[in-house]
Amino acid sequence: MLYAYQQYLMACEKAGMAPRFLNAEQTNGLIELLQNPPAFEEAVLVDLFANKVSSETKAMKLKKSYLQAIISGEIYCPIIGKQRASEMLEQSPDDAELM
């Protein structure tokens, strides 16, 4: 997922286009990477998750569910702690804004 997205970013830059935000499928792939991050890619993954997930309903719901699971202790993310997850959740649009 990460390599494909980086290739996509380079293609957009070359074409002079703004890249789209991550869709639900890409967000799900990103969540899998966050659970087991490749070495030296941690900052890139957190930035993508914090800033590049689409506000499209499915992608944002995946993001919110993942953050809520981190906060509740249901899952552990080695690179996003409870405090950071809480901050990211506060910055996410409300469900009413997604409709």
Read off φ and ψ for residue 22, nearest 5 degrees. Answer: -70, 135
Has residue 45 been placed in a domain? Answer: yes
pTM here is: 0.86
> What domain range is 16 assigned to?
2-93
* Six-digit token string for 33: 């990477």
What CATH number is attached to the domain comprising 47?
1.25.40.310
Has residue 99 been placed in a domain? Answer: no
Number of structural domains (the chain) is 1
Give the pLDDT score at 94: 67
Question: Distances from the Cα of 57 to the Cαs of 11, 33, 75, 92, in angstroms?
Answer: 26, 21, 22, 12
Has residue 6 been placed in a domain? Answer: yes
- According to DSSP, the residues that pair with 22 across neighbouring strands are 53
Instruction: Report the Cα 4 to chain-centroid distance in Å.
Output: 15
Give the pLDDT score at 95: 53
Low-confidence ranges of the chain (pLDDT < 70): 94-99
Has residue 98 been placed in a domain? Answer: no
Has residue 78 been placed in a domain? Answer: yes
Give the pLDDT score at 98: 45
